[in-house]
Amino acid sequence: MTLKTFDLPDVGEGLTEAEVTEWKIAPGEAVAVNDVICEIETAKSLVELSSPYAGTVSELLVAVGETIEVGTPIISVEDSVTSLPAASDEPDGTRQDIGGSAPTAEVRASDASGDVQRDLADSAAEASVPAPDMPGEVTGPLVGSGPKADAVKRRPRKPGAIVGGPTSTGTPTRTPSPSGDQGTSSGDSPTPSGDSRTSSPNQRTLSGDGRTSSRDRHATRVLAKPPVRKAARDLGVDLADVPATGSAGEVTKHDLLAYREQRGSEQDVTDSVGVDREPAAGGRTERVPVRGVRKATAQAMVRSAFTAPHVSIFRDVDASRTMEFIGRLKKSPDYDGIKVSPLLILARAVIWAAARNPSVNASWSDDEILVKHFVNLGIAAATPRGLTVPNIKDAQKLSLKELAQALNELATTARAGRTQPAQMQGGTLTITNIGALGLDTGTPIINPGEVAIVAFGTIKQKPWVVDGEVVPRWITTLGGSFDHRVVDGELSARFIADVASVLEEPALLLD
């Protein structure tokens, strides 16, 4: 049997890391090519990964909840091959040459030496690419199942740096990790302090206190069991800073806790490795790691807020006729089964107003303004994973009914946390429906890469003056933030006024 490992691929977002949120298979189970093996969470979405190999799952190399870099092995699979194809059907597995000379033994898994098996397994694990003629493997590229050619560059093996020493037959062996992870190759093996061996250029160098030097700190993956990695994240400790005392150079639980105690940090989470994060007994502070969508959102908002000069304006709008129009749509057979809300009319109003004021549907470059003559309408959505902004592609081409269906699908997918990366790329103009939270208005931050965002407040009955009389009307407040490098005050006011006019009189959409 041949052992093969599957590395975490670049899923097409240009991201460098992801977190394994769920395994769909377990060790010992059979897996076929393209079977879904796990679900990962990137900074943008949840993505299912498929297996490029067929065989039996040997080991899951990453624990649920662990954040790893692209190119890290996540699973190992054993194929079901017991021998290479024989040139004849003789039962003894040998064949005579034409001249009747001694039989030539074919290579068989049953009688191959342990060294040969290990070499084959190591070669497969290093390459992570199936051989073209072996059964149960993929001979062509599998879409979305491997990193880009330039995503991860493996360091070449250095013959002078052999971990674990030679075997009795002179074949180098790999030092296994105590966690059950794949052993590291010669270029990735840590050298414990006090070791008399000379480290190779690719091995980690240790400073006088037993820690990795700052120059090599991030050159090699630190050895540690998944529960220890999780505890380190919960405690806010960089494992590269922790002196390792494990038998194979790995960081142990004792190492982690001793390092934290030495640093004198206040421990506000439990130090029990392998349990979910929760506040320590009597503690009043909970540490929540910043990662995934929350981390990406924070970076994007800071970049937007301190790069684009924001200007915000507001306007109260009588949306009574919009509410009447929505009531008629809900009763229409054409909209049976389709959820209809005032957001639908606002979305159509924003598209209509952008066509009248093209510069709000643009992006800023250092030496030019890119005006888009299409609208990829983004809808800010609060999901269990954090704030996401999926967008409806070419929304200006959709009919009112098609737009309603697109909004329904977008909301359903976002609430389930299944929005894909492609759905959040290429947005040109965004709506944030803060009214769904019962808020009247706010000052939204522009989505990076755009120059305008519209905030839609709650619609509720308020006293309103109509023809000199105070009457109850359905009132909402529109807010908008604009990049003042592209959208000046006059243009932003005209755009918001056009959006408001449609909410006041939806019949304008018939123009």
Paired sense of beta strands 460-466 and 17-23, if any: unpaired
The CA R_g of the chain, rounded to the nearest whole Å, is 30
List, in sequence order, the alpha helices (H) in 306-445.
320-331, 342-356, 400-415
C-alpha distances in Å from residue 158, one per residue of 123, 199, 201: 15, 11, 9
User: Pick the catalytic residue: 218, 254, 373, 484?
Assistant: 484
Instruction: Please tell me what DSSP assigns to residue 225.
Output: -
C-alpha distances in Å from residue 283, one per residue of 231, 264, 268, 486: 17, 16, 6, 49
HSE-CB for 40 with a 13 A CA cutoff? 27
Annotated catalytic residue 310: no
Instruction: Please tell me what DSSP assigns to residue 220.
Output: S
Q: Which two tokens stand for residue 131?
A: 């051989």
C-alpha distances in Å from residue 269, one per residue of 67, 229, 263, 291, 455: 19, 15, 16, 18, 38
Collect contacts of 465-471 with beta carbons under 8 A, ≥24 apart: none
- In the three-class reduction of DSSP (H, G, I as helix; E, B as strand; rest coil), residue 296 is classed as helix
Beta bridge partners of 281: none
Tokens 């540490």: give the residue.
Answer: 287
What is the rounded CA–CA span in Å between residue 121 and residue 142?
21
With b meaning 16 or more CB within 10 Å and e meaning fewer, what string describes 378-401? bbbbebebbbbbbbbbebbebebe
Angle at alpha carbon of residue 434, lines to 410 and 331, rounded to 5°:
60
Angle at alpha carbon of residue 414, lines to 413 and 418, rounded to 5°:
60
What is the rounded CA–CA span in Å between residue 511 and residue 499?
14
Contact call for residues 150 and 29 (beta carbons, < 8 A): no
Q: What is the 3-state secondary structure (H, E, C) of 448-503?
A: CCCCEEEEECCCEEEEEEECCEEEEEEEEEEEEEEECCCCCHHHHHHHHHHHHHHH
What is the rounded CA–CA span in Å between residue 16 and residue 315?
42
The residues carrying an active-site annotation are: 484
